[in-house]
Amino acid sequence: MDSTATTTPFSTLIRTASHEQHTEAESSTFMGDMLGGRLGVDAYARYTEQLWFVYRALEDGAQALREDPVAGPFIQPELMRTAELERDLTHLRGGEWREGLEPLPATAAYAARVAECAREWPAGYIAHHYTRYLGDLSGGQIIRGTAEKTWGFERKGDGVRFYVFEQIPNPAAFKREYRELLDAVDADELEKQRIIEECKRAFALNTAVFRELGEVFPLSA
């Protein structure tokens, strides 16, 4: 057996394994254009709508997993984002934001995979949980700052509440504890390897959403 697999903490393995995909997601054309201030607020709103579909799948699924021995410890109310996304969307789109709202095909595929893991494979759900929430607590803060500056949202106010974790005053400490949860995950080496593969898939699903958003908002048009 590969000795690094048994001695390296799982939180390190999962971070290292997804590093390449992280760079790819981070440097997608859509993200670059949006964070470079080259897109209008409509693009940001459309992106926020996609997040709403993804977080509904994550958080609808979470309820049934609260008592699950593997995924249960990860389900923490202070992470939940659906209510914040709905407030942001009301601000961005108005009270009727739900009317006629459809996910992009890539978003529908992403949400369907999250829901499938929540239903059938709790350990796989952890991969999706990690990819979104730990990212939101990290790079999400950079996105918030840029969105506030670019489109004039009130600091930590409506429009960017998704990025504000009111009940997590110390994100660095929270992330440390989250990594401890990952390190203690109740799974054997093979299952951990599968979780890592699912994490890579989660990143690819995010990148696919960015790609489709980039097609909807091409700079050259």
38-46, 108-116, 130-138, 184-192 -> range binding ligand HEM (CB under 6 A): 130-138
Q: Judged by CB, which is closer to ligand HEM: 91, or 132?
A: 132
Position 185 contacts ligand HEM (CB under 6 A):
no
Q: What's the CA gap between 126 and 123, in Å, rounded?
A: 5
For the beta carbon of residue 83, count every other beta carbon within 10 angstroms. 12
**Among 5, 83, 142, 219, which residue sits at the site for ligand HEM (rule: CB under 6 A)?**
142
DSSP string, 55-100: HHHHHHHHHHHTT-TTTGGG--GGG--HHHHHHHHHHHH-TTTTTT
For residue 14, the minimal CB distance to ligand HEM (Å) is 6
13 to 3, 17, 18, 188, 212: CA distances (angstroms):
12, 6, 9, 14, 30
Q: Using the rule CB under 6 A, give the single segment among 25-33, 85-93, 101-109, 160-168 that binds ligand HEM.
A: 25-33
Near ligand HEM by CB under 6 A: residue from 15, 192, 200, 211: 15
What's the burial of 55, exposed, middle or buried (CB within 10 Å: 0-12/13-18/19+)?
A: buried
To ligand HEM, the closest distance from the beta carbon of 217 in angstroms equals: 15
What's at 21, amino acid-wise? Q
Q: Point out which span in 85-93, 98-106, 138-146, 155-163 binds ligand HEM (CB under 6 A).
A: 138-146
Determine contact, residues 124/195, Cβ cutoff 8 Å: yes
* By CB under 6 A, residue 211 contacts ligand HEM: no
Tell me the two tokens of residue 97: 């934001």
* CA–CA distance, 65 with 58 (Å, rounded to integer): 10
Size of the site for ligand HEM (CB under 6 A): 17
Q: Is 107 in the site for ligand HEM (CB under 6 A)?
A: no
Take residue 67 and report the two structure tokens written for it. 């008592």
From the list 23-31, 54-62, 96-104, 105-113, the region that binds ligand HEM by CB under 6 A is 23-31
Q: Should residue 4 be labelled a site residue for ligand HEM when binding is judged by CB under 6 A?
A: no
**Residues at the interface with ligand HEM (CB under 6 A):** 15, 22, 25-26, 31, 35, 130-132, 134-135, 138-139, 142, 175, 203, 206
